Amino acid sequence: MTDLVHGLAPARSGDPVIPRWWRTIDKWTMSCILALFAVGMLLGFAASPPLAARNGLPHFHYVERQAMFGAVAIAAMLLVSMLTPRQVRRLAVIGFALSFVALAALPVLGTDFGKGAVRWYSLGFASFQPSEFLKPGFVVLAAWLMAAAQERDGPPGKRLSFGLAVLIVGMLAFQPDFGQAALILFSWAVMYFVAGAPMTLLAGLAGLVAFGGTVAYEQSEHFARRINGFLSPDVDPRTQLGYATNAIMEGGFFGVGLGEGSVKNSLPDAHTDFIIAVAAEEYGFILVMGIITLYACVVVRSLWRLTQERDLFVRLAGTGLACSFGVQAMINMGVAVRLLPAKGMTLPFVSYGGSSLIAGGIAVGMLLALTRTRPQGAMGDILRRGRE
């Protein structure tokens, strides 16, 4: 009964922070994240030098920047993972507020870097994408609102979180950034489902998404072009999708060999959105399956640990963060193999990108903090509180 009541490795009062953190953290998840970053660095050595040469930069310019951003991301992940659920919630609310203001100001102060979508702020030495930092903040804030709605005389948290999600999706669609908008809506729907949403409501939401997609297709040339390219039976070999598809086929089971791939010389986004194509071409199906296994391990381990969690806020926030992490990886890889329309989304901890890496480090740090083992309290006490 002791394990059922207190968890497998409960925190002991008076313990120093570091030993308590090490004893209660999910080491498998943390190891998988570090392995993903190591794979990203390995692929960066292959994918980024051709781009650096085209831009007249030192050979390993992007590799060095990736290492710098990665060091900040891992430090952020470790520090955030030491927080309590209450501290995670406070950090998320502050981060969400700042990111929301930055997102709202993008149409005036942002830039598109010639990519047709105003998603970034140019800082001179680097760029900043507010939507990357908005995601974890929104997930935790929405989870807090949904959990608060379950309390007696609580606020209408589910409706408030839905209104907030619709507002953010509208702002992202205006950029346009339909990939991040879909990820925000998916995260909210998963948490709402876990919180006990009726299937009819979720079906209605799916219909609303389909309607919104139809309107976007008719009104946005950017969106329509990507959908048409996805639905076309033929792939133009001179497009990014064409290069990526050919690279994946060329790689086969074992790949063509380290440094022998050619897709990195043709794809402008080989080091970011299409880095999985570089992995498939040079290292083959073996490495791609290893990458997929690492992502699956993070999601499955996190969800399994959350099934033992009795705090509704922690369960909802952790589920939203884990599913958002996994689905972003699925979207990136799905685009590369033409299972999904092109969305311009990075592969977490593998693709190059400062905003993506650092925001990912914060998000996974929150997930690690929420999935740490902690005293849960007796089930009878929890049921008794629910009846009071």
pLDDT tens sequence across 208-221: 777 777 777 777 67
Q: Tokens 């990108």 identify what position?
A: 353
Confidence at residue 167, expressed as pLDDT on a 0 to 100 scale: 95
Q: Judging by beta carbons within 10 Å of its beta carbon (0-12, 13-18, 19+), is residue 385 exposed, middle or buried? A: exposed
pLDDT at 55: 84
Q: What is the pLDDT of residues 29-88, one digit of tens each?
A: 999 999 999 999 999 988 888 888 888 889 888 999 999 999 999 999 999 999 999 999
Mean pLDDT of the chain, nearest integer: 85
CA dist., res. 140 & res. 313, Å (int): 8
As given in the structure block, the two tokens for residue 98 are 């700042």
pLDDT in the model for residue 164: 95
Residue 311 — pLDDT band, cuts 50, 70, 90? very high
C-alpha–C-alpha distance, residues 301 and 298, integer Å = 5
pLDDT at 155 over 50: yes
* pLDDT at residue 16 greater than cutoff 90: no
Better-predicted residue by pLDDT, 298 or 201: 298
Tokens of 120: 């970034």
Name which residue leads in pLDDT, 262 or 170.
170
Q: Report the C-alpha gap between 134 and 99 in whole angstroms.
A: 5
Residue written as tokens 């977490």?
348
Q: How many CA atoms lie within 13 A of 170 on its CB side?
A: 7
How much is the pLDDT for 213? 73
Q: What is the DSSP letter of 120?
A: B
Outline where DSSP puts E strands in 63-191: 121-122, 127-128
d(CA 86, CA 110): 33
Residue 266 or residue 347, greater confidence: 347
**Interval 222-248: pLDDT, tens:** 667 767 766 666 665 566 777 787 888
When pLDDT is cut at 50, 70 and 90, the band that residue 382 belongs to is: very low
Mean pLDDT of 288-307: 96
335-357 pLDDT, tens digit each: 888 888 777 789 999 999 889 99
Radius of gyration of the chain (CA): 21
As a whole-number percent, the residues of the chain with pLDDT over 90 amount to 48
Give 324: exposed, middle or buried? Use CB within 10 Å, 0-12, 13-18, 19+.
Answer: buried
The two most distant CA atoms of the chain are separated, in Å, by 69
d(CA 109, CA 91): 25
Say if residue 134's pLDDT is above 90. yes
Look at residue 83 in the predicted model and tell me its pLDDT: 95
Query: What SS3 state is found at 82?
Result: coil
If DSSP codes are grouped into helix, strand and coil, which group holds residue 125? Answer: coil
Kind plus residue range of the DSSP H or E element containing 172: helix 157-174
User: 145 with 161: CB under 8 angstroms?
Assistant: yes
Q: Rounded to whole angstroms, how far apart are CA atoms 69 and 120? A: 17
Structure confidence by residue, pLDDT tens digits, 80-118:
999 999 999 999 999 999 999 999 999 888 888 767 678
Kindly state the tokens that stand for 218. Answer: 């008719």
Say yes or no to pLDDT of 130 above 70. Answer: yes
The residues with which 111 forms a beta bridge, in sequence order, are 120
Asked if omega into 176 is within 30° of 0 (cis), the reply is yes
pLDDT in tens, 313-329: 999 999 999 999 999 99
DSSP code of residue 111: B
- CB half-sphere exposure, 262, CA atoms < 13 A: 6
- 23 vs 275: CA distance, rounded Å: 35
pLDDT at 4 over 60: no
